[in-house]
Chain A
């Protein structure tokens, strides 16, 4: 039984919220908040339903014809609902956080409108079943994030917005060219088709390689792979909830997810290996991992350090693809979720430090653990996860990637992993050390840059709750990785589908 309404409603809840928010007046704050949160809840319920149906073996399809030979198709498959689940869960968290963060500031209607549009785009990306549909939502994501990046309207924000558009729109054009070339060669290719593009290998090897390069090159900009990462650190001027969303699920992950789709569902892993593009991908990813970490060490402010950490971490997903074995794939897919959870926690923490204490630089963080214990614990969990220490989720990923590398006999990848973990420790542990073991303003030494007492607890409770929640989930995803429906379990299910047809 095909429940076509399910993927459609999951998409429509977010889109409808956009329309409602734009139609409401600016000062209808309570109503806007209520609708926004209600829709986020409904979305989680819908995605949960989808997950259950996919687990039971139903893949719901909604489609209609756009022009001859090109259809608009939404389909809930295992990989798609995985991303949709991350998106819907983090929509709720970031929305709650954003409501607390933007309290009393201007232009909130515009912010929440585009915020919801951004999330709607990610759901569309998750459920898109062919490249045409994917492209629609991918570009929608570009456009809807621009107003969020320039939200503050300062010179710096506007400049960052311009850089962001230069990168992403150019990438969009490259992606469009690749897509059109592919459609001209093969016609409409569903992500669900088992055949892949192997039939075209003999006659069109060069063209297929070109298409692969165009598609992955276009997607790599949003994935922030070196040297196409220049927009990401600059986009840090956006408000903290935007950064959190951008890094955890929206833009960066959309790129990585796109690459997963192209390699696994469009070209097929065998064809990609045959074309020899996979190794190139793994090398590029390794380079990005090391380079991002090195740049992160050099940053003296907290948010740019986290940004370069994202550059490095997202490429683990790509590296996992490059190992072309089941373990690498499981690692890549699990990291898509794990990194999202951990990074969103870290950005929430950074936002909390900035809001409550005015901390932007790392050397201002001395002793903040005493003043804001919950935030600092959450930060520590996130940081340990990024380094890959058990039992946080990040450990699982690195473990699977390492095993995958050994199985594929790519020992240099193990070296990359070790080096990267060391570098991660080098830029995260000093912060953790400052938080807990140095004495600062909380111990009566000096004063915080700009302290506000935002709430009864260590900060505003709308800022605190989502952060605590995501930190717990990151921890839980590592501790209970063996349980059914954990990120790892689901990643293994997807990988099984790819490798054992």
Chain B
């Protein structure tokens, strides 16, 4: 299992240009964020220009991986080993982060201009930079210390971003999130301390060699798992998620739901595949909770009257899809075929959801901004007046519903096939129920939009491009369905 995370030695040394690309990918978002705090961009085009080198660095790393396979970096700083690796999965996740990050950044100037955001708005930029840099670090890091640093940086910056709107409700929700995030970090840190004390190693590759199943591994895994599950808003630790998104700015919500919570999940799976490679019960507990998550998240989204709550609750349910795949990834006696299918389906689902959810938050933000209403009822008649925003929402929701030919469908197909082969019928039922529940809340929202008998509102025109950015993200999520072969092939490569 751990070879899939690229935890083995590389054949080739990175080239000099690859070093630079790595530096740019990790550092540039941070630098640009600082710069933007000093000179906040009022238009989208400076942001577009600034994002070119960021994306270029991601593409350079992609081509470096393509040519050389797995790449590793080691540093020995004051007796502490720091290490990074670049495998197919981390390249994919890095590119995903960069694309969504850039899209959120390009979206931001128009959004800030149109909504009354107050004086704190300029601080959004450096926080966004920190989040993106920290995320890039998390995808690459292979030792517990760097992972912790990335996680903590990302978490604190995310709390900051979510509280920026300055509304009382936002501050309350943000403080709660901060407390929970700190608690999560603390639990995680306890687990790490346990590992360090017992095995004396922090690098994942070395750890994988010495870890043996036993109470210490289980306890450490439980601590780390609980901490990260809290941060990833895995059911039943999801209650903080909705209030936070309810009051946050749109680009912040997009980044948070698409990327930040996924990072915790990524670390969770990575560490568990080292600590609990053959445990029977732990992944099954996660899967059972995932089934509940699918149902509960779907019901929450179905019953709500607020558009943002709908989008946020849907995240809870969608994470459930990933959770039910755990027994196919971790545990004893999994046949190679279902495991490979589940592995690819897992990441495809994660990526598709990230793009689609970011697009959906932007589309929802556009709808709310244009109508001035944040309830579903307030959307009446929007199908005539805001067709593009609604179309984006629709395309994104096709991915979330998992209908063909979106990436959600292809991912669900692979997961279903893996579950059928390994005869996990409960999981199959959960996935199919999730599809119907998602359709129920999505079309409940559309029902309001298609209402032609509603009174007419005054609509605020949107900034140019706000819909197009969201459309691009939604289309990426959509296209990943039929073109899934290309990203998945990246993940195939590099087995030792």
Contact = CB atoms under 8 A, between A and B. Distances in A.
Given A161-B447, A184-B420, A136 B404 contact: yes
Contact of A140 (B387, B404, B420): B404
Contact of B383 (A110, A135, A176, A180): A110
Given A66-B410, A184-B417, A184-B421, A158 B404 contact: no
A165 interface: yes
Interface string A150-178: 10111100100110010001101100110
A485 interface: no
A139 B387 contact: no
Interface in B412-454: 413-414, 416-417, 420-421, 428, 432, 435-436, 439, 443, 446-447, 450-453
B420 A66 contact: no
Nearest to A152: B452
A147 interface: yes
B410 A181 contact: no
B246 interface: no
A169 B436 contact: yes
Interface in B308-326: none
- Which of A146, A152, A180 is packed against the most chain B CB atoms within 10 Å? A180
A67 B410 contact: yes
Interface in B284-323: none
A158 B410 contact: no
B320 to A, nearest CB: 16
Interface residues of B, number: 34
B268 interface: no
Interface in A118-167: 132, 135-137, 139-140, 142-143, 146-147, 150, 152-155, 158, 161-162, 165
A72 B410 CA distance: 12
Given A147-B450, A173-B435, A180 B416 contact: yes
Interface stretch (B94-102, B144-152, B366-374, B480-488): B480-488
Q: Taking chain B's interface residues, is the majority helix, strand, or loop, or is none over half, making it mixed? A: helix
Given A136-B404, A143-B398, A152-B452, A66 B485 contact: yes
Contacts, number: 90
A169 B405 CA distance: 15
A110 B387 contact: yes
Contacts of B416: 176-177, 180
A139 B435 contact: no
Contact of A158 (B417, B435, B447, B488): B447
Interface string A178-221: 00110110000000000000000000000000000000000000
A22 B387 CA distance: 9
- Which of A109, A136, A152 is packed against the most chain B CB atoms within 10 Å? A136
B50 interface: no
B384 interface: yes
A492 interface: no
A67 B420 CA distance: 17
Contacts of A169: 435-436, 439
Contacts of B450: 147, 150, 153, 158, 161
A487 B232 CA distance: 59
A2 interface: no
B467 interface: no
Contact of A155 (B420, B439, B453, B482): B453
Contacts of A65: 485
Contacts of B484: 66-67
A89 B428 CA distance: 41
A143 B403 contact: yes
B383 A67 contact: no
Interface of A: 22, 64-68, 70, 72, 106-107, 109-110, 132, 135-137, 139-140, 142-143, 146-147, 150, 152-155, 158, 161-162, 165, 169-170, 172-173, 176-177, 180-181, 183-184
Given A172-B403, A176-B413, 12 more contacts: A22-B391, A66-B482, A70-B413, A106-B452, A107-B384, A135-B404, A150-B450, A153-B450, A162-B443, A169-B439, A173-B435, A184-B417
Interface of B: 344, 383-384, 387, 391, 398, 403-405, 409-410, 413-414, 416-417, 420-421, 428, 432, 435-436, 439, 443, 446-447, 450-453, 481-482, 484-485, 488
19 contacts: A22-B391, A66-B481, A66-B482, A67-B485, A67-B488, A132-B413, A139-B404, A140-B404, A140-B405, A158-B450, A162-B447, A169-B436, A176-B413, A176-B432, A176-B435, A180-B413, A180-B416, A180-B417, A184-B421
